[in-house]
Amino acid sequence: MTPADPAQPLRDFEPRAGFFIGIDSDGCVFDTMEIKHKECFAPMFIKHFRLQPASKYARQAWEFVNLYSKSRGCNRFHALALSLGLLRRRPEVLARHADIFDTQALEQWTARESKLSESSLAAEIKAGRKELVPLLDWSKAVNASIADIVHGVPPFPLVRECLEKITPLADVMVISQTPGEALRREWAEHGIAKHVRLIAGQEMGSKGEHLKLAAAGKYPRENILMIGDAPGDYKAAKSNHALFFPIVPNAEESSWKELFEHGLERFFAGKFAGEYENRVFAEFDASLPASPPWKEVAVSP
């Protein structure tokens, strides 16, 4: 029997309104990026990949990749490869002779698989890629840590008011690379799941695939908006010819205020594209660097 396609709910998604809005979750709706990455991801990164000899640099690499750079918000398995790659090129880490996990199999898997989830990783391991077992152990440990630690983090100010303004006019969907179970738990915990028609996590594919399957071709391009706090959200929007509104890291409150007072009105009035979208994106783009602040060296793969 062929297993059910986790992306089928996206294909089955049908418009009920004339507009579509996709919203990211971590760091966009909820102020959870710092606590998740600093208290859950980074400690498990150090523990499971035996980075104790270079723990300070491992933490810096993880936080740069996931919080303070243009890779912010990427899937955890992409983040793992990027972070280990940074460590492999850092002189201080080389000087400590830290043994950095070989990412070749990880990179091969992420290059061909778009549904980067624990279930797809488990299938890859079952097919014979035993070298990926540490990734699954790490991911499960991260999830357990998040379930244990991350509670009571409310939506940013004006998120609820924006959702109340949006839902009478648009179909709303959560578009995220967080596991679906965590998304459903967090949106239900704070009573805002009622505002969205579907919650799409990493199991359903990439953010670009979420938008493509659920919205592209079903709504006019100018009636599709993605709200997010990461460059990946922007890329997902533009790969589907949709509009993008950024929640700027470290300026989240003012971003939601701008959306509430001006952005939504412009979107629903057909006055969002062009000068306005370009201006808010430029502020967002300038807030995240592409290169780390420390020196790197070239090393062989």
- Give the pLDDT confidence of 73-83 residue by residue, as tens digits: 999 999 999 99
pLDDT of residue 2: 41
Beta strands at 224-228 and 170-175: parallel, antiparallel or unpaired: unpaired
Q: State the residue for tokens 């000899």.
A: 53
Phi and psi for 106 in degrees, rounded to 5? -60, -45
Q: How far apart are CA 149 and CA 133, in angstroms?
A: 24
State the average pLDDT over residues 114-139.
94
Characterize 186-217 residue by residue with b for buried, 16 or more Cβ atoms within 10 angstroms of its Cβ, and e for exposed.
bbeeeebeebbbbbbbbbbbbbbbbbbbbbbe
Q: What is the mean pLDDT of residues 17-25?
A: 97
Q: What does residue 199 show for φ and ψ, rounded to 5 degrees? A: -110, 115
CB 82 within 8 A of CB 70: no
- Token readout for 109 is 């898997």
Mean pLDDT value across residues 179-183? 91
Structure confidence by residue, pLDDT tens digits, 51-74: 999 999 999 999 999 999 999 999
Query: In the β-sheet with 19-23, what is the strand arrangement from edge to edge?
Result: 198-200, 170-175, 19-23, 224-228, 243-246
Per-residue pLDDT reduced to its tens digit, 250-278: 999 999 999 999 999 999 999 999 999 99
How many residues make up the chain in this entry? 301
Q: Which CATH number fits domain 8-31+154-286: 3.40.1410.10, 3.40.50.1000, 3.40.50.1980, 3.10.20.30?
A: 3.40.50.1000
CB 213 within 8 A of CB 13: yes
What is the rounded average pLDDT for all residues in the chain? Answer: 95
Tell me: pLDDT of 301 over 70: no
Mean pLDDT within 103-119:
93
Q: What is the C-alpha to C-alpha distance for residues 150 and 264, in angstroms, rounded to an integer? A: 30
- pTM for the whole thing? 0.86
How deeply is 173 buried, as exposed, middle or buried, from its count of CB atoms within 10 A (0-12, 13-18, 19+)? buried
Rounded to the nearest 10 degrees, the angle between the axes of helix 55-66 and helix 76-88 is: 130
Measured in whole angstroms, the distance separating CA 11 from the mean position of its chain's CA atoms is: 21
Map out the domains of the chain as residue ranges: 8-31+154-286, 33-149
The CB density around residue 57, as the number of other CB atoms within 10 Å, is 19
Q: Give CA–CA dist 257/263, Å, rounded.
A: 9
What CA–CA distances, in Å, run from 231 to 22, 66, 203?
Answer: 15, 11, 20
Q: Give me the pLDDT at residue 3, please.
A: 53
Structure-block tokens of residue 84: 């280990």
pLDDT at 4 over 90: no
Whether the CB-CB separation of 34 and 216 falls below 8 Å is answered with no
Task: Determine contact, residues 76/97, Cβ cutoff 8 Å.
Answer: no
Mean pLDDT of 226-230: 96
Strands 198-200 and 224-228: unpaired
pLDDT band at 27; cut points 50, 70, 90:
very high
pLDDT higher than 50, residue 103 = yes
86, amino acid identity = L
Task: Compute the distance between CA of residue 73 and CA of residue 217 in angstroms, rounded to an integer.
Answer: 26
Region of 241 please: left (phi>0), alpha (psi -120 to 50) or beta.
Answer: left
Q: Does 150 have pLDDT greater than 80?
A: yes
